[in-house]
Every structure is written in structure tokens, then in C-alpha cells.
Structure 1
């Protein structure tokens, strides 16, 4: 390519929404640059990195599965947060030609919670469902925001290991995911000065995956229900939450939020977020 460009890499890659998101922002800003996608296999990753190092037009790439961990030793630097999370989803070619790895998932996840997190609370608790790669960034982000994290997984021992590795403080709890499937008669206290989050950080509920079994008697009054699944965008989990009167956040919020941080790294300017409604419409049409 003869002009600046960035791209997303992974295997598979055809399903990625990143080209549509970044392309939309480039179009709105009138920036003479491109954003594409490249199918990069696990075996081909070292050659890909070697090939882009000397290309001054290549501004960087977003990284999806299965490369978020294996790309790290191929880079010159890894941002401290990405190193702590243990995953890179954004690589940036610096002015001197070196490559730096970042993790923008944490910032993207927190973005739609910004107004809530800006308030003062005497207690913050997040029930996080899932112990995969996405959960790593979410646990780190929430514990940094002063949340007590209850991490639920099919293997509670794995959940505890993840908390020990990533969560700041020692008040966090690991629990079996099945605990939330059955109703509870627990009497929650006055939650007016509390922030309660329930986050599906697992693929459960995604098209082709089993449903997420969660009984909303486990959700304290006023909880915010957040599902990072993007296909379908309006999951059964979110529909049931709305029917029960809870505020919900869908997976597109995190996807756009993390892309916005990456876009600024690639092109040196913040994306035009006044058009988020139009962008959502384009992504879901």
C-alpha cells in the first residue's frame, strides 16, 4: 500500500468488525488512510511481524485469536497493563520503527461504565462470569476501579488462580459458575450507595454456544448487567435482565470502546464518537 494503513490479524478473520469500525471513523474524519484485515496463521505470525517491521506505511494492527499471547515475545516492548493481563490486542509501530504491544480491552470494557465509576460508593462488587481471555482484562480493570470481584467459572480453582494473579487486594472470591443457575432467597441490603455489576465475560449465550444459565435473584437491586457477546448482540441474558428492570450494556459498547483507543494509537487522533449511533446502525444492519 502506498498510504498509511492498519489492519486486524487473526485466524479466522473474516468475521471481524474492526475494518467496518475503523473505516467508518477514517471516512468521517477524511483521513487518507486504510484499515484492512489479514489472515495470519499461528505458524505465519513470526514472518508477518518480520515483514511489517520495515514498512513505514504500516501503523499497526489489532490482534485477535489465536495470537494475543504468542505475539508478545515478538515485540520490542509490551505496555505494563498488557504485560499484567498477559495479552496484547493492539500493536503499534512507533516512529523509530519499534513495535509496542498494548491491551485496549480493559479501557474498552470500562468506557460505558465511566459515569457510574465516577460516582462515590461505599462498596463496589462485580460478579464476573467466565475465566477465559476476556475475563483477564475485565478482572484487572474492575479490581483497579476498587471492585470486589466474584469470579465464577466451571473450574473454581482456575478462577482463584486468575484472581490471585490479576486482582489487586485480597477480598475477592472464586465460585462455581453453576451457583448462579439456581434461585436464591438471599436478602440484599440497601444498595443505594453501592455499585453492583454482573458481567458475562464468557462465550455462553453466543450463537452456536450453550446458553448462559443465570437466575436474576442473584442480582442485587440496581445492578448493571453487561454482556460482552456480540453475536447475537441482544442476548437472552440481556433480554431477561431488561425484563427484570435492570440497566444493560451490550458487547458492541466494549468493542467500539477498545477500537477507539487503538484508532488513536494508529492514526494520532481521537475517533469522532458523536456518530456512535450511526456506527452501531451500520454494524448491525
Structure 2
């Protein structure tokens, strides 16, 4: 690989843990596409300078966006899909030479893919967190037709704003409240991630057929998923959403469909590092 290849990347703070380059570069190699995908550490203070520099680079195709930039990046991109109003967070910024930056959100579609694959048909969900990822997930849950949604967050005002933006008349609980009965529990917060505080919850209120979905993927088996498996509950790990949203972004950046028939091989690669 050389610096002259077209490239996309993922930005965040922190970013060292990101597995996105492994995913995209696996697909690029599988398809024989001469391009690359990187990860770049960008602080909140450096976000404006980052976009100024990248827009001047003709080889830059765009970036994926992770914590803590999913809301802030909306100030730097055009929004033809009305993502700002519908979701309130962007995780993918695309760039065509000489054109504007265009923002979208592939987290919603990536989040839903494993639920659709498993034909999940629950009626109630609990969403932990009220940040950028939570916005996309709440939008996805509402779009999927889940009628009963509870948001658990440290900040009740942020949780209410999350519900209001999505047009959902849900419930709000603090992280210290007991879980309500639900068919789906989703952790969209960084709690449980390597280097973060653990997410300790009593899962006994969940239904016996509930699914526990943790979007954290470092570590892949979080304490939450381990506790769910100990109760015999169905689980979905963070790689499912990560790969799903990456596939949608891959098409945007490289104008090619990811070879999803090689998902098993890709997961083996991701869990080996």
C-alpha cells in the first residue's frame, strides 16, 4: 500500500481499539480493489482541522465516525437525507473530489441486520445510553415498529431529548433503576468497553425469551453478554452491528458491495486479534 491509493478511514477519540480497518481491508483484498482503510486519532479540538486537511486530499474518500464525534460532525457535512432531524447523529461522511462532504448514518441499518436475520418479533425494548449510537438505535427500533421502548441513561434530559427527536413516547429510567420487563436489552453506551466502567445489571426482570444486544466489541464477550448467556438468553455481540454498518459504509466509500458470504472468515479474523 502506498499513500497514493484512494483511502477511507475511521476517526475517534480513542481509536486504537477500532477493528474497522481489519474489516474494510479484508473486503478490499477479497474484491481486489486497490484502496485502503485506516484509523486516525482525532480529538474534539482537532475535528475542524481534520476536515479542512482531508478535504484538500484528492485521495480521501471519506470517514466513519465513532465516539465522541457522531453529533459534532454534523456541523461539517451536508445532510441530503435529513439525518440531523431524523436521527441526530452521523457515523459516515463521504467525499467526492471537488464536491461537498455528505453525511449519513449506517448505524441504524447495521443495528437492525442481526435482528432481522434472527426474525426478532419482540414488543418491548430497553436501550441503555443516550449518545450518538443510541440515537441511531432508537430510530431503528422505532422504524422496526417496537411499541414499548425504555431509555436508561445517567442524564434524564438527554434521554427525553432522544425520545422527542425520534417521536417516541417511551419511558425514562436512570442507570441505577432496576430493569423493566422487556424482550430486548440493548447497550449502546461505552460501559463495559475495555478501559471503561463495567455495566452491572440484574437481568432477572427480562423475559425468558429476551435477547441481549451489546454493541461494545472490545472485549467481544462483555460482562453483560456473559451474564445473559448464564441465564440462557439469546445474545448479539458488537461485531454483528459493526460488520453490518461497515458493509453499508463500504458501498458508499468504494462503490462495491461487501462480500458478506465471507462473514464467518471475517469474524474469525476479528476475534483472533
TM-score (norm: length of structure 1): 0.85
Match of 2:67 among 65, 68, 72: 65
Q: How many residues align?
A: 269
Tell me how far 1:33 sits from its aligned partner.
Answer: 0.9
SS at match of 2:217: coil
With over 3 angstroms needed to count, the CA separation of the structure-2 counterparts of 1:264 and 1:114, relative to structure 1, is same
Q: How does 1:85-164 map to 2 (within 5 A)?
A: 85-94=87-96, 97-116=99-118, 124-147=123-146, 148-164=148-164
**Aligned residue number for residue 192 of structure 1:** none
Q: Is the 8 A contact 1:56 1:97 kept in 2?
A: no
**Aligned residue number for residue 52 of structure 2:** 50
Tell me how far 1:52 sits from its aligned partner.
Answer: 2.8
**In structure 1, distance between residues paired with 2:49 and 2:190:** 31
Tell me how far 1:82 sits from its aligned partner.
Answer: 4.7
Q: Deviations over 1:221-268 (max 9, x none)?
A: 211111111121111211221221211000111111111111000011
With over 3 angstroms needed to count, the CA separation of the structure-2 counterparts of 1:39 and 1:84, relative to structure 1, is same
Superposed CA RMSD in Å reads 2.3
Q: Is the 8 A contact 1:79 1:100 kept in 2?
A: no
In the alignment, structure 1 residue 281 sits paired with structure 2 residue 268: yes
Q: Structure 1 stretches (4+) deviating beyond 6 angstroms?
A: none
Stretches of structure 1 that go unaligned for 5 or more consecutive residues are: 189-194
Tell me how far 1:54 sits from its aligned partner.
Answer: 4.2
TM-score (norm: length of structure 2): 0.89
SS at match of 1:207: coil
Stretches of structure 2 that go unaligned for 5 or more consecutive residues are: none
Q: Deviations over 1:60-98 (max 9, x none)?
A: 111223332222222233532354322221111136622
**In structure 2, distance between residues paired with 1:203 and 1:6:** 24
